[in-house]
Structure 1
Amino acid sequence: MKATVVGLVTPHVIRVLDLAKQAESGTNVDWHLRDAVARTVEDLSQQFNARDLLAAYVHGLETAARDLGPGRKLYSGMLQSAAGMAAREIERLG
């Protein structure tokens, strides 16, 4: 089976989407969000195309946040926060 960018990145994006949905229902997920992003960075940084995979991850989160619309500010904010954390990690990778 051939690994693809979508196949590698999508499960990580879905994890953050699930956490954002939980936050919308009143659950405090801040620590879980940071952990999910850290694990994603760790998992994807092991790949030879880590920068591309992490860029796709950030792009997926930003796109999802943008597509939510104005009525879902908490959900969108969680996605943007995760994207920001991941973007900072990309800079650290050099």
Structure 2
Amino acid sequence: MLQAPSGSLTGIYAEVRKAREDGTRVRYSFSDSAGRERFMTLDKAAGRVWPEDGVTNVLYQAAARKVAVAWPRNGEAPDRLVVAS
């Protein structure tokens, strides 16, 4: 997330990258604007995404939504996605 000098939220940006894939799950990494790397997992059968660290902040929600929508639309787990707003 990007913050203005006043501390107000100005936008979201994350690069989401496939870290590992098997027959049932895909593990993705994503980083915030400070470069902190986090991971989330997509369950292919359920179409469910969850954060490995349990933190469901705005950045995670945007990244998870992007993965969850791309999976059924494309029929495959994308290698890379960008989240920006």
| TM bin (shorter chain) | 0.3 to 0.5
Task: Provide TM-score, normalisation by structure 2.
Answer: 0.37
Task: Provide TM-score, normalisation by structure 1.
Answer: 0.34
Q: Point out the structure with the larger strand share.
A: 2
Larger RCO, structures 1/2 (Cα 8 Å, 6+ apart)? 1
Q: Point out the structure with the larger helix share.
A: 1
